[in-house]
Structure 1
């Protein structure tokens, strides 16, 4: 009503003042028409209500994830249930893995906190939402989509001392005798954590241990190891364990991962001129194909070192490894052992930095090629310059071109052919600048090399059957499977969980030309997988809800979307515009009749 009062006063005052100045203070009819038009215009500016609100009670949504129990007891959950009961509503929704109506349980059990389904339900019903949560939400950016009138109620408790394994990094595959790098991130609870130790073991045998100092609340600390995998080939189980005095929760202290150790490399990367381009491309090769990969660096004429351990190796051994590997990548002098096709039997990538350096070329276009699906999404106009050599003469397709100064001397950056075997040639250097810059450019670097290596691999590099694409996962996350060398579009996986007596089965289905597929999330545990004659391991760890983290949202009002049942607004009424226009037209006609302009 206040907006209408303001509009009435403003319209009347404007009309009276204008006609007094014009010397027609007694033209009451004209003043009334002008006042009506101005009142409506002001009401439209203020978007005044033109009816009564009929909004119903808001939904009460309760975060039903297990993060309430991260403090070690159900105290916070009990307070959350009481907070939800104190809000008047006719519908209580439980939010976590999904959204459903129902009474809050005695103990929360959802392993994720996703508000997307809640928002869609609230928008469909046009009802505001009062969300009771601990503030730890997986997709907090979506909360602004809630209908207006929504609110967030955060129930937070006292601090608890805890040390948890937040993440783990390392290769999923290695070759016997290799040294591999592992990384673990330790997260502290709301009360920090005491000093402790982190232990890394493989197949139950401790291979590395590190002490850690006490940490402040929600602090994180990274621990790194370089470990020799030994001469034994096969699937290995890696375990990381953090121990600290006064730890409130044991469930998040252990993380399992798998490591596939092979007797020989499925991919070999050899560089005669090691630099950042070689280092980062090798990292992408290992991460993209997830097959046993070995890298070799030439540090001096006739002297080669193994990536990681830097152990000396002879030129004959390097050449033999390349002749046996299904995929070979050569960086630098691609003719160091003669014609690459004289010894490389499988897929081949040649990275040949230009001899003449200094000119800067900018990627400009990605012509039709087998890599176009990925390349068409990359931000070529925002990438740092690179150096490009002479364009190869013989190729079946070109995936990327670049121009000097974006205008002159167009050259081919990536070319390839599929006959007799898949081959890619990259006569360029300086791609490492993309990786250095970070953000979208770093993602472009990974996408570029990842798509190249994926195309080279096809379905011939990995002779194993389907297997988990990641070395570890968490409860609530879909299990992603890589196809491997399997030709069929489907496969039956027999899963045997350690400690369980009855095995389970999963049917994998791969689309035409697809390398990956996903299956439903699984319970925590270490599983043995059997697909035909192929046996492997699958590690599923506790939900990320058990990992301590800061609240990602703040308490208070939120939401910008319109709620159904709210009073209609002036701008949505077409007839108000018609009345204002009619009043102005009538006033203009009458003013002319009495001689006013």
Structure 2
């Protein structure tokens, strides 16, 4: 309407300038002719201005909304007879939504992806998506300038995205009666263990919309029950954590750890089992011994256990002949420390590098020897002391050069060297104050297949504590060091599944085991009929983690360069009960957009404007005017 008002105002102003002023109107001209000419000028200018302003030709009608149907599998959880419920769900969607909105309303299915559809697709649709992400539907509606009609069960992964829905959006939901459903929400299992160790398997148990009865949580290792624990009754949507101690049988293998929940009157079996893989070995993969523990030890252990996922036992000497187990600080004798170090696949000695695990083992064991810098001497009265600052300068040619060549040398904090590192090949050079002669800070040597890395100095933790690129450099340095000693560590796999629970519908996280940034693995599903092996190309870049596309639930054998591993994919998180995160009703008031035919879309307004201008010209000529 505002466009027409502006066009009319412009037409009246043009007519007044042409014929309304006394100086503009000819004196011999009659008032009737003046009014006729002014009306023709006003009408012509109004039509031309309306065309230029894009004025509408009729009343605007609201655009049809975008209909988004949640196709996630959570619709089918705890519904009893699933086939009957799916038929009911299809009728609800077809009758209440597809027929209730205008026929030109676009239709999409949303869940783990956004797909275009038509009304006929509802008759054959079975909700089975492994996620409930509504953000794509909100973005599509906003880009089209339409309101959003969302058909969902209320269990949405990104409910906050609906706060940005266009005006006039609303939510529709099929009402269902809540049923008793107990489920396993999470399962925490150590990624690796040593035979005869006692580990803790922790499971999180949750309830649906109805209180559950007491039950039992059973833990199975390779199909054999190894532990059980009672589960208390739970209130609606409550949860609890159950820990079960398990003794790991001896044997070098990849074991399948499975938690099974048994609760009376539970109506949904799909969420009662969770499983994951655990590496079991007869000897500890790595042993870290420190005779002078400091903050460097803590940060390096974080890399070993976190970024690199290397099972590590650490022992600290806090006083002469006084040893403690890192973490629990439980006392342990030096003889026991030496015995465990002698059985390790890889040994890291920090502090007194003359410390040996026992006779006959030092010459054949792959190890890392780390000599920390001596404590800074306290200044005497009248004296000033300054800690010598050594800065990373260069990475010479070595087996670790490929992993360390991109270190940000200019931004790394200084360290304090304990002297030049002795080895056959220098890994990292440092300069005193950025201007002195380069000194080897890290070096390697290899004798009869036994690999040794010698590290000199203290203060490497400063790289990690600064975060950002410095922390990445810290992880890259120590990751390269320990990967090079992987022959002693016994894990030569180029890539393996990262520890943790994996569910269908979620990306699979992989962890790099070598220095290659591009790794290809073969993934084969157990129990599949016929050959069914997929090839995955993992691109790590400078990181130690990479993601691949989601996989269907099942157990997969992974084969890659350096060895095999096992990947367990559990049922989708959509089968876990949770409280609805969005209510039925309008999301926002107003109208998202409207459509009206524009005057410029028709041809006759152009003809009308031309006729009006021609009529004015003819009338002026008849009156003797130019």
Q: Which range, TM-score by smaller chain?
A: 0.5 to 0.7
Is 1:328 the counterpart of 2:340? The answer is no
Shift of the 206–320 alpha-carbon distance from structure 1 to 2, 3 Å rule, reads closer
Please name the residue that 1:540 is paired with. 569
Shift of the 492–429 alpha-carbon distance from structure 1 to 2, 3 Å rule, reads closer
Please name the residue that 1:72 is paired with. 79
State how 1:307-456 maps to structure 2 within 5 Å. Answer: 312=332, 314-315=334-335, 317-318=337-338, 321=341, 325-326=345-346, 328=348, 330=350, 334-335=351-352, 338=355, 346-347=367-368, 391-392=416-417, 417-420=441-444, 421=453, 423=455, 427=459, 453-454=478-479, 456=481
State how 1:191-590 maps to structure 2 within 5 Å. Answer: 191-270=210-289, 282=301, 285-298=304-317, 301-302=320-321, 304=323, 312=332, 314-315=334-335, 317-318=337-338, 321=341, 325-326=345-346, 328=348, 330=350, 334-335=351-352, 338=355, 346-347=367-368, 391-392=416-417, 417-420=441-444, 421=453, 423=455, 427=459, 453-454=478-479, 456-458=481-483, 460-461=485-486, 462-485=491-514, 489-498=518-527, 500-510=529-539, 513=542, 515-531=544-560, 534-558=563-587, 563-565=592-594
Please name the residue that 2:127 is paired with. 108
Is 1:88 the counterpart of 2:117? The answer is no
Shift of the 87–354 alpha-carbon distance from structure 1 to 2, 3 Å rule, reads farther
CA deviation map 1:177-222 (0-9, x unaligned): 4333322111111112210011112112222211011001111111
Cα distance, 1:259 vs. partner?
A: 0.5
State how 1:33-52 maps to structure 2 within 5 Å. Answer: none
Shift of the 200–232 alpha-carbon distance from structure 1 to 2, 3 Å rule, reads same
Cα distance, 1:325 vs. partner?
A: 4.7
Point out the more displaced range, 507-516 or 219-228: 507-516
State how 1:166-177 maps to structure 2 within 5 Å. Answer: 166-177=185-196
Cα distance, 1:516 vs. partner?
A: 3.6
Cα distance, 1:558 vs. partner?
A: 3.2
Please name the residue that 1:145 is paired with. 164
TM-score, with length taken from structure 2: 0.63
Q: Distance in 2 between matches of 1:517 and 1:286?
A: 17
- Among candidates 114, 117, 136, match of residue 99 of structure 1: 114
Q: Distance in 2 between matches of 1:352 and 1:430?
A: 14
Instruction: Please state whether the residue corresponding to 2:580 is helix, strand or coil.
Output: coil
Cα distance, 1:276 vs. partner?
A: 11
Q: Is the 8 A contact 1:171 1:290 kept in 2?
A: no
Shift of the 448–272 alpha-carbon distance from structure 1 to 2, 3 Å rule, reads farther
Instruction: Please state whether the residue corresponding to 2:136 is helix, strand or coil.
Output: helix
Cα distance, 1:542 vs. partner?
A: 0.2
Q: Distance in 2 between matches of 1:176 and 1:219?
A: 36
For structure 2, the 5+ residue unaligned runs are: 3-54, 379-390, 395-402, 421-427, 431-439, 445-452, 597-626
Q: Is the 8 A contact 1:173 1:293 kept in 2?
A: no
Please name the residue that 2:603 is paired with. none
Q: Distance in 2 between matches of 1:374 and 1:126?
A: 48
Shift of the 55–505 alpha-carbon distance from structure 1 to 2, 3 Å rule, reads same
Cα distance, 1:549 vs. partner?
A: 1.0
Instruction: Please state whether the residue corresponding to 2:151 is helix, strand or coil.
Output: strand
Tell which structure's C-alpha radius of gyration is larger: 2
Q: Distance in 2 between matches of 1:319 and 1:79?
A: 70
Q: Is the 8 A contact 2:191 2:499 kept in 1?
A: yes
Instruction: Please state whether the residue corresponding to 1:211 is helix, strand or coil.
Output: strand
Cα distance, 1:77 vs. partner?
A: 3.4
Cα distance, 1:98 vs. partner?
A: 1.1
Point out the more displaced range, 102-111 or 193-202: 102-111
Q: Is the 8 A contact 1:489 1:512 kept in 2?
A: yes
Instruction: Please state whether the residue corresponding to 1:62 is helix, strand or coil.
Output: strand
Q: RMSD over aligned Cα, in angstroms?
A: 5.0
Please name the residue that 1:61 is paired with. 68
Q: Distance in 2 between matches of 1:153 and 1:443?
A: 45
Cα distance, 1:156 vs. partner?
A: 4.4
Instruction: Please state whether the residue corresponding to 1:480 is helix, strand or coil.
Output: strand
Q: Distance in 1 between matches of 2:533 and 2:347?
A: 35
Shift of the 427–177 alpha-carbon distance from structure 1 to 2, 3 Å rule, reads farther
For structure 1, the 5+ residue unaligned runs are: 3-49, 358-365, 377-387, 399-415, 435-440, 568-597
Point out the more displaced range, 558-567 or 289-298: 558-567
Q: Distance in 2 between matches of 1:349 and 1:215?
A: 52
Q: Distance in 2 between matches of 1:494 and 1:528?
A: 6
TM-score, with length taken from structure 1: 0.66
Q: Is the 8 A contact 1:327 1:457 kept in 2?
A: no
Please name the residue that 1:20 is paired with. none
Q: Is the 8 A contact 1:297 1:305 kept in 2?
A: yes
Instruction: Please state whether the residue corresponding to 1:113 is helix, strand or coil.
Output: coil
CA deviation map 1:131-187 (0-9, x unaligned): 111121122222233322222234442221111111111221223343333221111
Q: Is the 8 A contact 1:169 1:183 kept in 2?
A: yes
Instruction: Please state whether the residue corresponding to 2:227 is helix, strand or coil.
Output: strand
Q: Distance in 1 between matches of 2:393 and 2:61?
A: 57
Please name the residue that 2:602 is paired with. none
